[in-house]
Amino acid sequence: MIKKIALISLLFLTSTVFADDFVWIVGGGPDLKNSQVQIEQNVMWAAEVIEQLPLSNGNERHLNIFFTDGKAPDKDVNVWQPKSEENLRLQPLAMVYGAGDENGFEYRNNKIENIRGSTVRSELEPRLKKDFSDLQQGDRGLFIFNGHGLHDKENTSKNQFLLWEKTAFNVSEFSSLLNNVDNAVPMRFVFTQCYSGGFERLVHPAAADNNELVDAPRCGFFSEAADRQAEGCSSSIQTKDYRDYSTYFFAALGGKTRQGEALPENPDRNDDGEVSLYEAHLYTLAQAYSLDLPRSTSEVYLERWQPWYLRWFFAGEGRGNVYAKLANDLARELSVPTEQSVQRSVISKKRRRLDRQTKKLKKERVQLRVAMKELRYNIRYQLEQSWPKFSKLSADSYLELSNDEVKKARKFITRHDDWTTLQRGYKRYYEISAEQLDIGRKLTQFDKLRRLNKLARLRQQFDENATVQQKADYQRLLGCEKLPL
């Protein structure tokens, strides 16, 4: 028998004229060291997209931004920028004293406008509790988190998203907070942190590890699985290099890339003139070249649903559904066959090749680190023999030297026999890091293809074998995900 609440929720999602939209963006790191500028930029990017989206039916949109220490003027973001003339002048000293990769860092206050408050849990929790309690039938809610997460290996209901002053919410705690929302109000969430998949449990009573759904219409999107790290915590201001879930997801909602360019494909799959959160998620699956392997609540529902015995039954290749199309498009992009029996063999060979490259790069990096340490020691030792004062320098105290002292040290270092070799070492070290990142992204594309194939087969099995109640529950999740913003 179909639960009465399931029918009511499904009918509500498909027929209600909504009143106001409420959006909460919570972001930043737990402390200054781990509050990278990309997180700040992602919060600003999401806010910019949301504020520019048209409103329908005379709705009002209420955007609430909480970031690190709120409106306090203190430094709460760390930034790395291409080196200025002053940084370049200091780079020889920075490289010799072991801080070459940090020269160009600065710490500053965030540049986010209209911040409502801080993310310190003792301040954030009562505000969210009141906001959630004030939601009325006809309203819609969207909660977005951009920051860091932690993984609990024993119980993913204890996975956390981290807040300022090293506070946090785990899944179970945030689930309890969501219980303040009226059961008639759709609540959607977008979690982009490491291990964010653990927050899929928010759609289950008491954040349980099962497929039973809460009575309220809830659904969400996650940049990663409950046990995988996510991309998106760079200190670089070069937004063109960002490849995280937020970059693609909000580009789909906003209809343009972060650089203001046209999108490579139209994310509006049903041509209704609006891009739903689900369509933005599908766009991200199709377009993202990233370490992230994203998922939605409806997709995880399919994975949780599959009975053990169906794993041993051939379900075909899942033809005719959206995941099959995404899988075939990705296979062609990766230059692998679309026929899965052949595809697996080809991917296995490509993965082995990439794994060999990874091991080779890792070995080279270790050897290079040892060699560079020796080069720095040789230069530093001879410098300090000539000018004993420099023996008191640390990895950042060279910034306190006078101009004459910097000029003297720079001249000595750049004329040293090992200087050119040390420069080449640093250059190669950065190249290795970039190559390792690219290989990681390539490997994730193969992981994504495998998962899309799996979802295509699961959807086919589900249509053929699920109960009426299970199909109703799945449609509840899908209906919630397909709501426009």
Distance of alpha carbon 340 from alpha carbon 4, whole angstroms: 41
Q: Tokens at residue 57, please? A: 């039916």
What pLDDT is stored for residue 293 in this prediction? Answer: 97
Spatial neighbors of 241 by CB under 8 A, at least 6 apart, are: 234
Spatial neighbors of 11 by CB under 8 A, at least 6 apart, are: none
pTM score: 0.92
Nearest to 297 by CA among 476, 483, 176, 485: 476
User: Do the Cβ atoms of 158 and 204 come closer than 8 Å?
Assistant: no
Residue 350 CA, chain-centre distance (Å), reads: 26
What pLDDT is stored for residue 238 in this prediction? Answer: 87
Distance of alpha carbon 224 from alpha carbon 339, whole angstroms: 27
Residue 45 amino acid letter: W
Distance of alpha carbon 365 from alpha carbon 358, whole angstroms: 10
DSSP character at residue 104: T
Spatial neighbors of 132 by CB under 8 A, at least 6 apart, are: 141, 177, 178, 180, 181
CA-to-CA separations, 426 to 94, 105, 365, in angstroms, rounded = 11, 17, 11
Domains in the chain, CATH or no CATH each:
4-315+467-481 (3.40.50.1460)
What pLDDT is stored for residue 85 in this prediction? Answer: 72
Give the phi and the psi of residue 392 in degrees, each rounded to 5.
-90, 0
| pLDDT tens, N- to C-terminus, the chain (485 residues) | 334 444 445 544 544 556 799 999 999 999 999 999 999 999 999 999 999 998 766 679 999 999 999 999 999 999 988 767 777 888 898 889 877 777 778 899 999 999 999 999 999 999 999 999 999 999 999 999 999 999 999 999 999 999 999 999 999 999 999 999 999 999 999 999 999 999 999 999 999 999 999 999 999 999 999 999 999 999 888 888 999 999 999 999 999 999 999 999 999 999 999 999 999 999 999 999 999 999 999 999 999 999 877 776 655 566 779 999 999 999 999 999 999 889 999 999 999 999 999 999 999 999 999 999 999 999 999 999 998 888 877 766 777 788 898 899 999 999 999 999 999 999 999 999 999 999 999 999 999 999 999 999 999 999 999 999 999 999 999 999 999 87
Distance of alpha carbon 140 from alpha carbon 100, whole angstroms: 49
What pLDDT is stored for residue 371 in this prediction? Answer: 96
CA-to-CA separations, 483 to 53, 203, 336, 346, 421, in angstroms, rounded = 14, 16, 35, 39, 58
The alpha-carbon radius of gyration of the chain (Å, integer) is 25
Distance of alpha carbon 284 from alpha carbon 184, whole angstroms: 29
Q: Residue written as tokens 């009975």?
A: 307
Nearest to 20 by CA among 482, 481, 485: 485
Distance of alpha carbon 59 from alpha carbon 41, whole angstroms: 27
What pLDDT is stored for residue 397 in this prediction? Answer: 73
CA angle at residue 205 from 170 to 280, to 5 degrees? 70
305 — alpha (psi -120 to 50), left (phi > 0) or beta? alpha
Which helix or strand (DSSP H or E) is residue 29 part of? none
